[in-house]
């Protein structure tokens, strides 16, 4: 646990302010994808059915949509960012390695969804390390704990 505290302390000291704008944009994008999943539940269910995971496809579809909606809001606001990111990472790992995988894996002609999913996954790992930053609800609550 001491290593995690050291990483968190290092990240807080070396957190550039401009990266908070990327965090907000990432949260809004994840929220947008959650709204799109709810709007197109049939497409999401078909995508999950192709993964051949049995009857859990309906529960997984609800988990993905709910996690994107709530997680996107939390990440954009900077509220319990690391926990919201931890919930998002398994979804994006599934998107990168299972949902977007086809016979042309990593090819230039591959769909943009793979590259978007990979970029979002990398950004989630970055914010797992860096946390919410200076322009966040977490920072505000920490500085105004006695108010």
Mean pLDDT for back-to-back runs of 10 residues, the chain (147 residues): 69 74 94 89 69 69 89 92 93 81 52 85 91 82 76
Q: Which domain holds residue 76?
A: 2-143
Per-residue model confidence (pLDDT) at position 103: 45
The per-residue DSSP string of the chain comes to: -HHHHHHHHHHHHT--TTHHHHHHHHHHHHHHHHHHHHHTHHHHHHHHHHT--GGGHHHHHHHHHHHHHHHHHHHHHTSSHHHHHHHHHHHHHHIIIIIS--TTTT-TTS-HHHHHHHHHHHHHHHHHHH-S-SSSHHHHHHHTTT-
Domain count, the chain: 1
């Amino acid at each position: 646990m001491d290593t995690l505290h050291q990483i968190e302390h290092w990240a807080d000291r070396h957190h550039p302010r401009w990266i908070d704008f990327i965090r907000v944009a990432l949260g809004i994008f994840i929220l947008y994808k959650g709204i799109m999943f709810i709007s197109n539940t049939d497409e999401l269910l078909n995508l999950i059915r192709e993964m051949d995971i049995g009857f859990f496809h309906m529960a997984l579809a609800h988990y993905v949509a709910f996690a994107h909606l709530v997680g996107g809001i939390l990440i954009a606001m900077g509220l319990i960012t690391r926990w919201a990111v931890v919930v998002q990472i398994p979804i994006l790992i599934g998107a990168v390695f299972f949902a977007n995988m086809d016979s042309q894996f990593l090819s230039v002609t591959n769909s943009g969804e793979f590259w978007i999913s990979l970029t979002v996954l990398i950004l989630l790992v970055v914010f797992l390390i860096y946390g919410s930053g200076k322009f966040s609800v977490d920072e505000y609550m920490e500085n105004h704990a006695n108010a």
